[in-house]
Every structure is written in C-alpha cells, then in structure tokens.
Amino acid sequence: MVKTKITINKTKASRLNDVDFENIQFGRVFSDHMFVADYANGEWQNFEILPFQNLDYNPAFNSLHYGQSVFEGMKAHLDADNNVVLFRPMDNFARLNRSCERLCMATIDPQIMLDGLSELIKIDKDWIPKTEDGALYIRPFIFATDQYIGVAPSETYKMVIFTCPVNKYYDTAVKVKVEDVYSRAASGGTGFAKAAGNYAASLLPAKIAKEEGYDQLIWTDSIEHKYIEESGTMNLMVIIDGKIITPPAGETILGGITRLSVIAIAKDLGYTVEERQISVDEVIEAQQNGTLEDMFGTGTAVTITHISGFGRKGVDYELPPVSERKISSHLKNELEAIKRNKKDSHPEWLVIVK
Ligand SMILES: *Cc1c(COP(=O)(O)O)cnc(C)c1O
C-alpha cells in the first residue's frame, strides 16, 4: 500500500508550555496540531497536518442543519520505552465508516486515517500526559460541508482528527437512573452509529436525571423500557453471582471497542460472560436477594466506571462498595496494562507508532 501523502505545516507557537498536566479538564485542552482532509468530486484529498485552528463555513453549512456528522473516540498511551501505543485504531476507523454509511456520508480508507493519525501523534507526542491515568484522547470526525439549504446527502465532507491530553473522566462511582420515558435508540434507527444527533437527543433526559440527583442514565429498550441497553456513552455490564452479563451490541446498543476488549479479557481470565438481554427486573431481583455483585460501564473515555447505585421509578437500589468489586477491578487493571503495552496477551490490539 502506498503511504498517504501528507502536507505538514507545523505551528511556530506551541502551546505545550502553558499546560498544567496534573490539572486538565477533560476535552478542553487541545494539542498543537490537527490532521484534516477534504472529500470532493468523489474522492478524499488535501491530506494535511496544520496547527489546531478554526474552520470557516457559511451559515448554510449543512451539517449544522441536517446533522450529517459522525465521530470516534480513541486513546493513545506511552509505554515503558516511551513509544506511543494506539489501542485498536482500525476498529475505530471501521466503526467510523459504519457510522458514515448509516448517515449516507462518504467513507474513508482506514489506512489513510491511520497514516494521518500516526504522523499527527509523532508531531504532538509531547502532549501525551506522563501522569498515571493520563492518555491522549483522539477525536476523529467527519461532517458534511455543502453550503446550501436542502435536505440531501452532502457532496462534500471534511475529516478532522484532533487530540486532547486527558486524565481520568470520572473520579468516583456514578449513580444512574433507569430511564423509562425517553429512548436513545430504536430498531431501524441510528443507535449503532456514533452520529452527532444521537448525543443531542440524550441531553434533555440526562439533564432531568441530574436534577433528580443522578449522574447518568441507564437507557432501556424503546418498546417496553424493560431491558437494559447502555449508559451515557458507556456499554453496561452487570455481575450477578459471579457471572458477567452484558446485553448484545447491535442496532440499538453501540458496539463499544472497550466492551469487546473487556469481554475478551474476561474470558482469557476464566470468568463466565453471558451476552444476552437482561431486564431491569432481573437486576433488581438480584439486588434484593444479594447476588448483584457489580454494575459498571465500559468506554474509551471512562475505561471501566463503577456504578454505585441505580434508581427506577423513584426507588433507589444500592450496590456493594467499589472496594469489594474484585472482578471488574481485575478487568480494569488488565485492560489498562494491555493499553500501555505492559502485557503481551493481545499484541493484535496494539499499533506502536514508530
Ligand atoms: C462511544 C460509545 C460507547 C463506547 O464505545 P468505546 O468504543 O468502548 O469507546 C458506548 N456507547 C455509546 C453510545 C457510545 O457513543
């Protein structure tokens, strides 16, 4: 394969020295550069690395009006030899293309994305935090750029990858509300895609839950609000009586790469994993008979985040203290070690940027 030809235009004014790496707010600090490309006349072109900067469009710019906009989220870490390690990047780029297809947008060769990202990360390597929980969060996205009013697939698109140094996302376990009015996704919809509009639609129900004292939602199926789907931008796993249960990813549950990795690691370590539908009633019953051991979310931004308790229809249910959650802590440590190239159990997941 021919390597992507990328024009590189470096900043003359790095902002790196202004960053306090011990105190960064998630998603608010941007590294010096970004990788961009344009889609026009049926092909991707103008591959460029530029200083992080504003983009310029007129107000009829159609992703603002009609929502053809999809994104990805992934992380890079440094290993013990100071190499940059990307975790399953090709899985993210494949998912980006699945999102593009669903939103009727131009897809892009994953190799172009990987070449661009690798160059970008080499240039901004010093932005990767050296703190224990630190990582470089990577945000690839594609959006429509035709500039006229009219509902139709855009003929032009822009792809951008920028990065953010980050620390932990949640510091503590989160309390969640089982949502039984609103839905995140329905059969035949866009729930499996990382489509911008999905997140806009989740904000009001999440705000209502916050006002009721919860940190996040648990989405349930849109038909009966009976089965657990996911939580915020995390897939959900429940441990009942030593068994890890997680609903199958598919049409309405986003196929998280962390989810897939945690399932694989759990099986490697000899735990039982059941991928099946699980009802809220089953979880409540387990909570009441003392077999509900754990509930946690998985996602790139959050890694594994414990759920401290959940509420349904105004009734709250507590989970055991995080210190007792041996299985998920084991899975989390293993996953974090793999991502930092400290284990060789899954070399196929890692891309080392040289
Ligand atoms: C991104 C996302 C996830 C987690 O996916 P990862 O690949 O593990 O980061 C789960 N659910 C939703 C709705 C998401 O947007």
248-292 pLDDT, tens per residue?
999 999 999 999 999 999 999 999 999 999 999 999 999 999 999
34 lines ligand 1 (CB under 6 A): no
Q: Report the nearest atom of ligand 1 relative to the CA of 299.
A: 8
DSSP annotation of 314 reads T
Ligand 1 atom with minimal separation from the 232 CA = 13
**What's the one-letter identity of residue 353?**
V
Structure tokens at 338: 């793999």
Which atom of ligand 1 is the closest one to the Cα of 258?
8
For the chain, strand residue ranges (E) read 7-8, 33-40, 43-51, 69-71, 74-78, 84-87, 135-144, 157-166, 174-178, 216-218, 230-231, 234-240, 243-246, 272-275, 292-299, 303-312, 315-318, 350-353
Strand partners, 353: 84
Q: Is the pTM of this model over 0.85?
A: yes
Rounded to whole angstroms, what are the CA distances from 275 to 73, 179, 263, 324?
24, 21, 9, 24
Distance 82 CA to ligand 1 centre (A): 28
Average pLDDT over the chain, rounded to whole?
A: 96
Whole-number pLDDT of residue 132: 82
Strand pairing report for 292-299 and 303-312: antiparallel
Residue with tokens 């329905």: 186
Q: Which residues contact 251 (CB under 8 A, 6 or more apart)?
A: 185, 187, 188, 189, 191, 192
Q: How far apart are CA 201 and CA 65, in angstroms?
A: 15
From 87, 138, 176, 254, the mutation candidate for ligand 1 (largest count of ligand atoms within 8 A of CB) is 254
Over residues 43-73, the pLDDT tens digits come to 999 999 999 999 999 999 999 999 999 999 9
The answer to whether the CB of 231 is under 6 A from ligand 1 is no
Beta-bridge partner residues of 85: 77, 352
Provide, rounded to the nearest whole percent, the portion of the chain with pLDDT above 70: 99
Q: For atom 1 of ligand 1, which residue has the closest CA? A: 233
Cα dihedral: 103, 105, 111, 117 (round 10): -80
How far does residue 150's CA lie from ligand 1's centre (Å)?
Answer: 31
Question: Is the minimum distance from the CB of 235 to ligand 1 under 6 angstroms?
Answer: yes
311-339 tens-digit pLDDT: 999 999 999 999 999 999 999 999 999 99
Q: What span, in angstroms and rounded, lies between the C-alpha atoms of 247 and 347?
A: 27
Q: Is any ligand 1 atom within 6 A of the Cβ of residue 305?
A: no
| CA 292 – ligand 1 centroid, Å | 24
For residue 174 and ligand 1, the question of a CB distance below 6 A is answered with no
- How many beta carbons lie within 10 A of that of residue 275, not counting itself? 13
Cβ contact 226:281 at 8 Å: yes
Q: How many Cβ atoms sit within 10 Å of the Cβ of residue 78?
A: 18
pLDDT digits (tens, 9 = 90+) for 122-168: 999 999 998 888 999 999 999 999 999 999 999 999 999 999 999 87
Is residue 4 very low, low, confident or very high in pLDDT (cuts 50, 70, 90)? confident
pLDDT of residue 1: 55
- Residue 100: both structure tokens together: 């593009």
Å from CA of 25 to ligand 1 middle: 20
Helix (H) or strand (E) holding 65: helix 62-66
